[in-house]
C-alpha cells in the first residue's frame, strides 16, 4: 500500500527549503529593525478562542476550521490564523503590564484551513505576521504597513500595490451596517445563501462575497467613507498622510473589507500586479482590531497587525523572476583511498567542520573517479585527496576545483590552509 501526502499539504524538499529559510531570515531581520519580537504559540487552541476572536460569521469559523474533540471532551482547533493566538498569549501572560508599550510581536508558523486547494493556497500553509498591541497612534498603522512593504521590497518584489480603507470606529461602523442592511434587504433573495445569512449578522461581509461580486447592488452599495464620523475621518487622514510621508504609494478602496469580525479603522491589503501571478492577487492583509483584546478577556487595548502567506510570497517572487542570492555549494570534499585513509578521513572531516568549513566525504566506497564526480555535483571549491601512502607521509593533496591547481599540504596545516584559501588570504 502506497501512503501519500494529505491533500492540500506539501513536502518542502532540500533545494527548495533554502528559499523558505532565506525568506524567514529576511523577515526576522526586518522585524529586528522595527523592534518586533518573536512569539511562538501552540498550533492548536481551544475552539472558543477562534469563535470569539475570529468571529462566528466568518468563513474561517463556519467552513474552514479543523476542529475535533480531544480525549477529555474538549473542543480543540488547529489554528487557522495567528492573531487570535498572539492576543490570547498577550492577555494570558499579562504582557499589557510591561513598561514598554506597545507590545510589538511577530510570528512565523503553520496554519490550517479546510478549503479547496489551488495555486498558492494549501490546507496547511505558513504565515508570517506582526501584531502591535497597546497604541491608538495612527503612525503605528503606517509603521505596520511600511514593515510589510519593506519586507516585500527587500526580497526583490517591485510590482506591488497597497490598497487601504477605513472601517471607522464603532459608531461609524454601526451606521454603515444599518445602511448596508437597508440597501441589500429588498433583494437579498437574489444573493447566495451565505450572503443571506450575513445580512443581519455581519452585512459588511456581503461586500467580500466572491460569488455575487458582479451583482448590480454591489456597485451601488453605501460606502463606509460616507459614514465616517469626524474622529474616524481624522484618524484615516493621518494614516494616509504618514504613508505619503514615508513615500509609500497607496490606493483608497471603499469596498475593501477584511474577512474577520474584529477590524475597526484601518484595513489594508498589499497586492501583486505581476502578469501571470493569478486571479487572486492579494499577498498580504491586515488592519486595526480595537476590540479583540477585550473579547478574549483582557483590558481595553488597541491593536493592529497583518499576516501574509509564505507560499503566495514565493509565487509572487517566481512571477517576477526574482533570484535567490545564495549558492548550494560546499567548501571542501574529502577523497580518501584505502582503508586506513578512509578511517582517517572521519577525523579530517570533523576538524574541517569545527573550523567552520562546509565539508563532505564519500560514504559508499566509491572509486576515485566517482568521488570526484560527487565533488563536482556538490560544487566543492576544494578537494582534499589522500591515500594510505600519503597518510603515512603525513601529507594530503589539495585541489582548487576552479583552476585545477594542486598543492601538497601537511595534515597538521590542512585546516589552516583551507581556511585561508576560503577567506582569500592565500
pLDDT of residue 426 exceeding 70, the answer is no
User: Residue 193 has what pLDDT?
Assistant: 85
221-244 pLDDT tens trace: 888 889 999 999 999 999 999 999
Mean pLDDT rounded to a whole number for the chain: 91
Judge whether 102 and 37 are in contact, CB under 8 Å: no
Q: How confident is the model at residue 373 (pLDDT cuts 50, 70, 90)?
A: very high
Percent of the chain whose pLDDT exceeds 70: 95
pLDDT of residue 327: 81
pLDDT tier, 174 (very low <50, low <70, confident <90, very high otherwise): confident
Taking CA atoms, 411 is separated from 352, 358, 361, 384, 389, in Å, by 11, 18, 16, 10, 13
Please tell me the predicted confidence (pLDDT) of residue 199: 83
Per-residue pLDDT, 55: 63
What is the share, in percent, of the chain residues with pLDDT greater than 90? Answer: 69
Average pLDDT over residues 266-283: 85
pLDDT digits (tens, 9 = 90+) for 298-327: 999 999 999 999 999 999 999 999 999 888
Number of H helices, E strands in the chain: 15, 16
Would you state the pLDDT for residue 189? 87
Q: Is 172 exposed, middle or buried (0-12, 13-18, 19+ CB in 10 A)?
A: buried
Pinpoint the alpha helices (H) of 193-338: 193-201, 216-219, 230-245, 292-295, 310-319
Q: Which residues have C-beta within 8 Å of that of residue 307, sequence separation ≥ 6?
A: 81, 82, 83, 127, 128, 129, 284, 285, 286
403 has a pLDDT exceeding 80:
yes
Task: Give pLDDT, residue 207.
Answer: 81
- Lowest-confidence pick of 174-178, 357-361, 382-386, 422-426: 422-426
pLDDT tens-digit readout, 109-136:
999 999 887 776 799 999 999 999 999 9
Burial 314-348 (b: 16+ CB within 10 A, else e): bbbbebbeeeeeeeeebbbbbbbbeeebbebbeeb
pTM of the model: 0.88
pLDDT for 24 equals 97
Instruction: Please give the pLDDT value at position 52.
Output: 79
DSSP string, 345-370: HHHHHHHHHHTT--EEE-SS---HHH
Amino acid at each position: 500500500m502506497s501512503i501519500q501526502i494529505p491533500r492540500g499539504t506539501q513536502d518542502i524538499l532540500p533545494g527548495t527549503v533554502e528559499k523558505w529559510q532565506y525568506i524567514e531570515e529576511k523577515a526576522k531581520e526586518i522585524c529586528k529593525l522595527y523592534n518586533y519580537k518573536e512569539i511562538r504559540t501552540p498550533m492548536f487552541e481551544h475552539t472558543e478562542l477562534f469563535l470569539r476572536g475570529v468571529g462566528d460569521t466568518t468563513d474561517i469559523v463556519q467552513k474552514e476550521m479543523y476542529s475535533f474533540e480531544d480525549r477529555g471532551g474538549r473542543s480543540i482547533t488547529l489554528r487557522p490564523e495567528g492573531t487570535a493566538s498572539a492576543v490570547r498569549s498577550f492577555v494570558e501572560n499579562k504582557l499589557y503590564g510591561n513598561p514598554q508599550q506597545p507590545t510589538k510581536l511577530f510570528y512565523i508558523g503553520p496554519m490550517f484551513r479546510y478549503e479547496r486547494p489551488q495555486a498558492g493556497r494549501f490546507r496547511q500553509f505558513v504565515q508570517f505576521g506582526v501584531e502591535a498591541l497597546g497604541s491608538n497612534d495612527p503612525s503605528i498603522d503606517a509603521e505596520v504597513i511600511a514593515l510589510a512593504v519593506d519586507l516585500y521590497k527587500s526580497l526583490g518584489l517591485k510590482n506591488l500595490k497597497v490598497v487601504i480603507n477605513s472601517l471607522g470606529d464603532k459608531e461609524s461602523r454601526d451606521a454603515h451596517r444599518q445602511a448596508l442592511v437597508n440597501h441589500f434587504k429588498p433583494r437579498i433573495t437574489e444573493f447566495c445563501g451565505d450572503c443571506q445569512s450575513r445580512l443581519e449578522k455581519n452585512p459588511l461581509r456581503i461586500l467580500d462575497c466572491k460569488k455575487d461580486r458582479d451583482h448590480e447592488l454591489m456597485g451601488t452599495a453605501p460606502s463606509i467613507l460616507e459614514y465616517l464620523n469626524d474622529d474616524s475621518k481624522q484618524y484615516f487622514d493621518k494614516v494616509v498622510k504618514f504613508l505619503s510621508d514615508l513615500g509609500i504609494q497607496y490606493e483608497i478602496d471603499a469596498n475593501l473589507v477584511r474577512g474577520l469580525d474584529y477590524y475597526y479603522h484601518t484595513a489594508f491589503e498589499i497586492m501583486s500586479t505581476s502578469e501571470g501571478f493569478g486571479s487572486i492577487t492579494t499577498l498580504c492583509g491586515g488592519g486595526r482590531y480595537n476590540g479583540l483584546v477585550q473579547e478574549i478577556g483582557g483590558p481595553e487595548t488597541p491593536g493592529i497587525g497583518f499576516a501574509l502567506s509564505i507560499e503566495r510570497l514565493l509565487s509572487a517572487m517566481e512571477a517576477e523572476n526574482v533570484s535567490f542570492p545564495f549558492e548550494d555549494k560546499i567548501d571542501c570534499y574529502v577523497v580518501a583511498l584505502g582503508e586506513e585513509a578512509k578511517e582517517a578521513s572521519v577525523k579530517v572531516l570533523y576538524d574541517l567542520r569545527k573550523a567552520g568549513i562546509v565539508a563532505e566525504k564519500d560514504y559508499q566506497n566509491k572509486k576515485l573517479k566517482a568521488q570526484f564526480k560527487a565533488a563536482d555535483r556538490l560544487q566543492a571549491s576544494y578537494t582534499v585527496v589522500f591515500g594510505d601512502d600519503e597518510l603515512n607521509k603525513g601529507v594530503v593533496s589539495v585541489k582548487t576545483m576552479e583552476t585545477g591547481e594542486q598543492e601538497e599540504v601537511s595534515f597538521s596545516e590542512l585546516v589552516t590552509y583551507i581556511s585561508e584559501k576560503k577567506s582569500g588570504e592565500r
